[in-house]
Amino acid sequence: MNELALIEKIRKQAGRNALVLGIGDDCAIFRPRAGEDLLFTTDQSIEDVHFTRLLGAAPIGERALARSLSDIAAMGGDPKFCLVALAAPAKHEKWIGEFFGGLLGLARRTKTPLAGGDLARSEKIYCDVMVCGAVPRGKALRRDGARPGDELFVSGRLGKSWKRRIQPRLALGRYLRGKATSCIDLSDGLSLDLHRLCLASDVAAELDRVPVAPGSTLDRALDGGEDYELLFTLPAGRKAPPGTRRIGRIVRGTAGQIKLKGQILVPRGFDHFAEV
Amino acid sequence: MNELALIEKIRKQAGRNALVLGIGDDCAIFRPRAGEDLLFTTDQSIEDVHFTRLLGAAPIGERALARSLSDIAAMGGDPKFCLVALAAPAKHEKWIGEFFGGLLGLARRTKTPLAGGDLARSEKIYCDVMVCGAVPRGKALRRDGARPGDELFVSGRLGKSWKRRIQPRLALGRYLRGKATSCIDLSDGLSLDLHRLCLASDVAAELDRVPVAPGSTLDRALDGGEDYELLFTLPAGRKAPPGTRRIGRIVRGTAGQIKLKGQILVPRGFDHFAEV
């Protein structure tokens, strides 16, 4: 199968959608609606870094899209479309078909049509998924809005296996628009992502408790990464939204400093460029 | 240097720009202008597939952005911003800085601010650049508008070395808005890209002559790829825009069929998934 035939096959898999122009030209064309801000995020999924081939082509494809959708959820966005860049070894046409099968299943469930992308060959499997989302103008949830006195919440339980399916918290993100003062998704571990949120907001945080997933440990819940839950702040006294728990509060202090039950917590989540 | 420090360094390199929110949150925020369609393209640059490391970090970075800008030019767009996903081996912080130095130089010259991206580690260098552009509503140049009787034009001369700097034809693309009936950029070779344009437009083409770059050959000009010139059609009788040449015409016939001086030309440009 040559590249034109492969693109045509993916175009058929992707189906019809609301874009002005999708797969098959130099660019996709998207017509924005008045009064909306657009959100953009891109996430790489690299063989033997983010996944092993043993996971299977369809779950790898689903997961690659889910990671970017989680960023859209963290900003309170509705997904609009995605672009997928994929590089794979020779004779992987069947693998590529299954990869897009998994990816497009989640794309349909979350209304994120595939608008285009790029195919290439490489020794290892490499993928980069860009998702565009939208929020009403000025309503995006950001990392830099947490204020001393705000309370800290997290969805789900943490320290889950990276092999499970990711459920991007799109409904929760949408619900938090206009309510949360800040929000971030947990991709690299609670300790590192909370550190980032506090740095961006120029505040410190105190954790009272950490909801640990069944079969996991506190260490994995703090530093494990790959949870793809939402960590967010609400002004004091608000009820925890459904499916979420209050875990602490934002305080004045050294920007980025986190305490767990009074002890300083060192951010140890996943860092691609940590000195080791 | 850890990931937070590296992102902060790139953020400083990138400078200030007109985006609502750039590097450093889960997503970039872009506020579209009323009456514009947005264009999206993404292109991978992979070590030992699209480039060798010998080319140098800055030229590799510049080239990675230039390839996507060429797609924006082909649709007649003004670049708005870019996202850059980059994976590189350990201890490549200096290389990454130089890569972004080259990329951001072209980004400044073309007003394409870096809005965000993703960093990861990998054995080989892998990069994916997404560019967003804009055109007045309904004015994007497309592949599917060529009609029998239209004349065929190309910018520059073809078959140039892939080592040279790419000059994305943004000014020409902008000039062609509302004038050209179709347009495509030459990334995989004249024979294959013209075949694609004709397939999309359901027409055939006849070439009279091919402008060959000094020191190159007709074969390389036809099948070489990596020219990043614009191939476009105008209604019959129009003057060639500055820096372009008339090379043939669009005719009725088997969709995608191309003749050069009466002989059928087999599309042989670069195909990542050709059966070899």
Mutate to test the interface with B, among A25, A49, A70, A176 (most CBs of B within 10 A): A25
First CA to last CA distance, chain A:
43
Q: Is B93 on the interface with A (CB under 8 A)?
A: yes
pLDDT at A113: 92
Alpha helices in chain B, H assignment, sequence order: 3-14, 57-74, 93-109, 170-176, 190-201, 218-223
Q: Is B30 on the interface with A (CB under 8 A)?
A: yes
- Given an 8 Å threshold on Cβ–Cβ distance, is B1 in contact with A273? yes
Report the pLDDT averaged over residues A1-13.
75
Report the pLDDT averaged over residues A185-191.
92
User: A14-47, pLDDT tens digit by residue?
Assistant: 776 656 666 778 899 998 998 999 999 999 999 9
Report, at the CATH architecture level, how domain B151-265 is classified. Answer: Alpha-Beta Complex (3.90)
Q: How many CB atoms lie within 10 A of CB B48?
A: 11
Q: Which residues of chain B have a CB within 8 Å of the CB of A132? A: 40
Q: Is A114 on the interface with B (CB under 8 A)?
A: no
User: B187-236, pLDDT tens digit by residue?
Assistant: 889 999 999 999 999 999 999 999 999 999 999 999 987 899 999 999 99
The structure tokens listed for A258 are 């986190």
Q: What does DSSP say about strands A230-234 and A151-155: parallel, antiparallel, or unpaired?
A: antiparallel
- Given an 8 Å threshold on Cβ–Cβ distance, is A37 in contact with B29? yes
Q: Which residues of chain A have a CB within 8 Å of the CB of B81? A: 40
Phi then psi for B4, rounded to 5 degrees? -60, -45
- Given an 8 Å threshold on Cβ–Cβ distance, is A275 in contact with B1? yes
In terms of pLDDT, which residue wins out, A160 or B169?
A: B169
Across the strands, what pairs with A134?
A38, A78
Q: Which of residues 166-225 of A touch B (CB under 8 A)?
A: 184-185, 196, 199-200
Q: What is the pTM of this model?
A: 0.92
Candidate from A161-175, A180-194, B74-88 with smallest mean pLDDT: A161-175
Beta-carbon-side half-sphere exposure of residue A190 (alpha carbons within 13 Å): 30
Q: What does DSSP say about strands A244-251 and A151-155: parallel, antiparallel, or unpaired?
A: antiparallel
Report domain extents, chain A: 3-136, 143-265
In terms of pLDDT, which residue wins out, B159 or B5?
A: B159
Cβ(B131)–Cβ(B72) under 8 Å?
A: yes
- Given an 8 Å threshold on Cβ–Cβ distance, is B126 in contact with A122? yes
Between chain A and chain B, the number of residue pairs with CB atoms below 8 A apart is 222
Q: Which residues of chain A have a CB within 8 Å of the CB of B71? A: 26-27
Q: Is B10 on the interface with A (CB under 8 A)?
A: no
- Provide the shortest C-alpha distance from residue B212 to chain A (in Å): 24
Decide if pLDDT at B275 tops 50: no
User: A64-117, pLDDT tens digit by residue?
Assistant: 999 999 999 999 999 999 999 999 998 999 999 999 999 999 999 999 999 999
Give the Cα separation of B11 and B13 in Å (integer): 5
User: B177-189, pLDDT tens digit by residue?
Assistant: 999 999 999 988 9
What DSSP element (H or E) covers A72? helix A57-74
pLDDT at B145: 96
Q: Which of residues 58-87 of A touch B (CB under 8 A)?
A: 71-72, 74-75, 77, 81, 83, 85, 87
Q: Residue A272 is nearest to which of B3, B49, B115, comparing CB atoms?
A: B3
- Given an 8 Å threshold on Cβ–Cβ distance, is B38 in contact with A46? no
Confidence of residue B146 (pLDDT cuts 50, 70, 90): very high
pLDDT at A274: 56
- Given an 8 Å threshold on Cβ–Cβ distance, is B30 in contact with A38? yes
Q: Which residues of chain A have a CB within 8 Å of the CB of B119? A: 272-273
- Given an 8 Å threshold on Cβ–Cβ distance, is A122 in contact with B122? no
Q: Is B39 on the interface with A (CB under 8 A)?
A: yes
| Domain A143-265 CATH assignment equals 2.60.200.30 | no
Burial class (CB in 10 A: 0-12, 13-18, 19+), A81: buried
ipTM of the complex: 0.90
What's the length of chain B?
Answer: 276
Percent of chain A at pLDDT > 70 equals: 93
Burial class (CB in 10 A: 0-12, 13-18, 19+), B92: middle
Across the strands, what pairs with B133?
B39, B79
Give the Cα separation of A46 and A26 in Å (integer): 25
Q: How many CB atoms lie within 10 A of CB B152?
A: 24
What CATH number labels A3-136? 3.30.1330.10
Q: Which residues of chain A have a CB within 8 Å of the CB of B20? A: 37, 140
Q: B3-136 and B151-265 share one CATH topology?
A: no
Give the Cα separation of A236 and A153 in Å (integer): 11
